[in-house]
Structure 1
Amino acid sequence: VNIHDKGILTGELSSIYRVTHIIRWELNFSTCLLSPEKNVALKGTATQSSQYDSYGAAGNAIDGNRNTKYTDGSCTHTKQDSKPWWRLDLQDVFTVTSVTITNRGDCCSERINGAEIRVGNSLDDNGNQNPLCAVVPSIAEGQSSSFQCNWTMGRYVNVVLPKPGILTLCEVEVNGHDSSGWYKPERCFCLISC
């Protein structure tokens, strides 16, 4: 069965075609499996460059709660650092399609401006040199914004301010596919065979 960009079902699928902004997914369902996309952050562990106080723990950004009031205990908060960062260890390599960040809602929304989202497998410089997924221009106070990562593979997801400042995150959601089965133009990892 083929699934085309407009949802029309026809013959057999075997590759992906990208034409401008339209993606045509083709997958041979008998041999290859595209694992379901999900928020893979929830089972990870987080750390950060520093912690401002007891409310601002790194793990607060992956608690599944988009509450944006800092004193409710669901946001992270570093001290004033020369290059503040937050890192998520996904515990395994995933194919990351997008990262959604929820910004603090009770103050300081500009702190996220210019933050870099990086995804990869290296811990050099605390993971802050991994491939760049996106730069956050700004996120409105108390709002969430999603950033596309173009199927970047990695175990670590970093949010880093490449300048002196304070980093506060109220939720980080990492959407992706696990490595048990996924499909991309140049690769086909299968549970059975390709």
Structure 2
Amino acid sequence: MFFKKKMEELSYLFLLLGVFFIQGSSENLKENLALKGTAIQSSTYGWAAANATFSTWGATKAIDGMRYAPGLASSCSITGYELNPWWRLDLLDSYSIANVIVTNRADCCPEQTAEVEIRIGNSLENNGNNNPRCGVTSLAPAGSSVSFSCGGMEGRYVNMYIPNIHAYLTLCEVEVYGTDSCEDSI
């Protein structure tokens, strides 16, 4: 009985701490900055049929505001199978980035969003892939979202990059939260 009561108290405490953490960090999570940006990627997956090439997995699919879309990755960006695939978001201005959230496809292939380096900065050297690293994704269940705290890294560009291997890079949604760099200096 004592153990059960203590577990209930701890569960309540963790619930309160979780609510406090979410509310306390909401200042940086007001607006998904990615929705105002533009995106490009190293290549785009497509297929050919009867002399026409179909490609519905362009870079902008990862910033369309749809985390979970029905169908075969219908709202995801997918690069071709290539060495060092990358995807880049241009926020059109420099921001202090607090969090980046990456969502992978729900229908299959979670490995296409694994081992992705998240890079943030103002340089376009090597297509932006040489900017400082915020984090690296790990293999997560299909359809899940993973959040990375970037601690206020400064940058205009947010890159997703899989270095040194041949792979597809699939991103079903990329969300970026932070503040304008000018606001931080006031």
Distance 2:72 2:82 in 1: 21
Distance 1:68 1:101 in 2: 14
Query: For this pair of structures, how many residues does the alignment match?
Result: 153
Identity %: 48
Residue matched to 1:76: 77
Residue matched to 1:140: 141
- Runs of 4+ with deviation above 6 angstroms: none
For each residue in 1:118-148, what CA deviation from the matched residue of structure 2 results, as whole angstroms up to 9, or x when unmatched?
Answer: 0000001000000000011122100111011
Residue matched to 2:51: none
Aligned-pair CA distance for 1:35: 7.8
Q: What TM-score do the two structures reach when normalised by structure 2?
A: 0.77
Aligned-pair CA distance for 1:164: 1.5
In structure 2, the CA distance between the partners of 1:72 and 1:110, relative to structure 1 (3 Å rule), is: closer
Residue matched to 1:50: 43
Contact 2:35 2:63 in 1 (8 A): yes
Alpha carbon RMSD of aligned pairs, Å? 2.0
1:41 to 2:46 alignment: no
SS at match of 2:91: strand
Residue matched to 2:108: 107
Amino acid at match of 1:80: Y
Distance 1:70 1:126 in 2: 31
Residue matched to 1:3: none
Contact 2:29 2:177 in 1 (8 A): no
Residue matched to 1:172: 174
For each residue in 1:151-184, what CA deviation from the matched residue of structure 2 results, as whole angstroms up to 9, or x when unmatched?
Answer: 10000000001121000000000011112312xx
Distance 1:43 1:98 in 2: 16
Aligned-pair CA distance for 1:67: 2.1
In structure 2, the CA distance between the partners of 1:145 and 1:72, relative to structure 1 (3 Å rule), is: closer
Aligned-pair CA distance for 1:72: 5.9
Contact 1:70 1:104 in 2 (8 A): no
Amino acid at match of 1:88: L
Distance 1:170 1:60 in 2: 7
Amino acid at match of 2:33: V
In structure 2, the CA distance between the partners of 1:80 and 1:97, relative to structure 1 (3 Å rule), is: same
Which has more helix, going by share of residues? Answer: 2
The 5-angstrom pairing of residues 1-194 of structure 1 reads 37-53=30-46, 54-69=55-70, 71=72, 73-162=74-163, 163-182=165-184, 189-190=185-186
5+ residue gaps, structure 1: 1-21, 26-33, 183-188
Q: What TM-score do the two structures reach when normalised by structure 1?
A: 0.74
5+ residue gaps, structure 2: 1-20, 47-54
